[in-house]
């Protein structure tokens, strides 16, 4: 019906991107944070509505799309963002928040384990483990943080993808009392030379 940028999945993606640029700046998640994010969502949607009004006049469609954003997409986003925001505030549960001392400790633990394995009889499959700890220990906090971030991005992507079904329902249902947007009239085709010539010749014959 309308270009993709005015369909529910793309509009939802625009709103979530807008919110994600602002969410990390808030403190502990509470009702005030949700109220401010809800206001930001309205600003993001108003930005798309302004562009939509330049290409179409269909308040019924836009009203139903807006309701879907605020009754389906935004509540699901709040549920996901609340959990992830708390993880970020806790430094993803990393020991000492993944600071320099913790990275040194991980590496030291790998070195100590390598010494223990070198002076004791252990199964062969355990010998590479301390070296893996020595190599990747300094980057372990980064890998843990990357895991949680990628999981969150996948959840948001799934949310946007689920809006495809909502879009189908939005397009399939139109209330009976909702007026259909006017369709521009087609320009009348110019008469062909043969037709115009024929009409003039007929008029001459009648004269």
HEC string of 70-132 equals HHHHHHHHHHHHHHHHHHHHCHHHCHHHHCHHHHHHHHHHHHHHHHHHHHCCCCHHHCHHHHH
pTM for this model (two decimals): 0.71
Token duo for residue 111: 């070195």
Give pLDDT, residue 29.
Answer: 93
Check if the beta carbon of residue 14 is closer than 8 Å to that of residue 76.
Answer: no
Give pLDDT, residue 43.
Answer: 95
Q: Where do we find the tokens 């020991």?
A: 95
Tens of each residue's pLDDT in the chain, 207 residues: 688 899 999 999 999 999 999 999 898 999 999 999 999 999 999 999 999 999 888 888 899 999 999 999 999 999 999 999 999 888 887 777 667 777 778 778 778 777 777 777 767 666 677 777 777 777 788 888 899 999 999 999 999 999 998 888 777 766 555 554 554 443 334 444 444 444 444 444 443
Give pLDDT, residue 105.
Answer: 80
Task: Write the CB contacts of 133 (distance below 8 Å, at least 6 apart in sequence).
Answer: 106, 107, 109, 110, 113
Check if the beta carbon of residue 65 is closer than 8 Å to that of residue 11.
Answer: yes
CA–CA distances in Å: residue 150 to residues 19, 164, 187: 17, 22, 53
DSSP state, residue 178: S
Rounded Cα distance between 77 and 145, Å, is 20
Give pLDDT, residue 193.
Answer: 45
**Angle between helix 59-68 and helix 31-53 axes, rounded to 10 deg:** 160
């Amino acid at each position: 019906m309308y270009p993709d940028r005015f369909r529910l999945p793309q509009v939802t993606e625009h709103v979530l991107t807008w919110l994600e640029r602002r969410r990390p700046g808030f403190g502990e998640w509470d009702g005030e944070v949700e109220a401010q994010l809800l206001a930001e969502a309205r600003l993001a949607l108003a930005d798309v509505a302004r562009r939509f009004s330049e290409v179409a006049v269909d308040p019924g469609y836009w009203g139903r799309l807006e309701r879907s954003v605020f009754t389906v997409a935004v509540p699901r986003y709040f549920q996901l963002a609340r959990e992830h925001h708390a993880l970020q505030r806790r430094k993803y549960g990393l020991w000492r928040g993944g600071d320099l001392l913790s990275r040194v400790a991980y590496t030291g633990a790998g070195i100590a384990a390598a010494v223990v394995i070198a002076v004791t009889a252990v199964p062969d499959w355990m010998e590479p483990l301390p070296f893996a700890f020595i190599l990747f220990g300094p980057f372990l906090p980064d890998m843990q943080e990357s895991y949680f971030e990628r999981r969150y991005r996948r959840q948001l992507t799934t949310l946007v993808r689920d809006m495809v079904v909502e879009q189908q329902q939005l397009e399939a249902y139109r209330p009976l009392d909702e007026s259909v947007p006017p369709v521009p009239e087609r320009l009348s085709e110019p008469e062909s030379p043969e037709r115009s010539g024929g009409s003039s010749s007929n008029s001459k014959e009648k004269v």
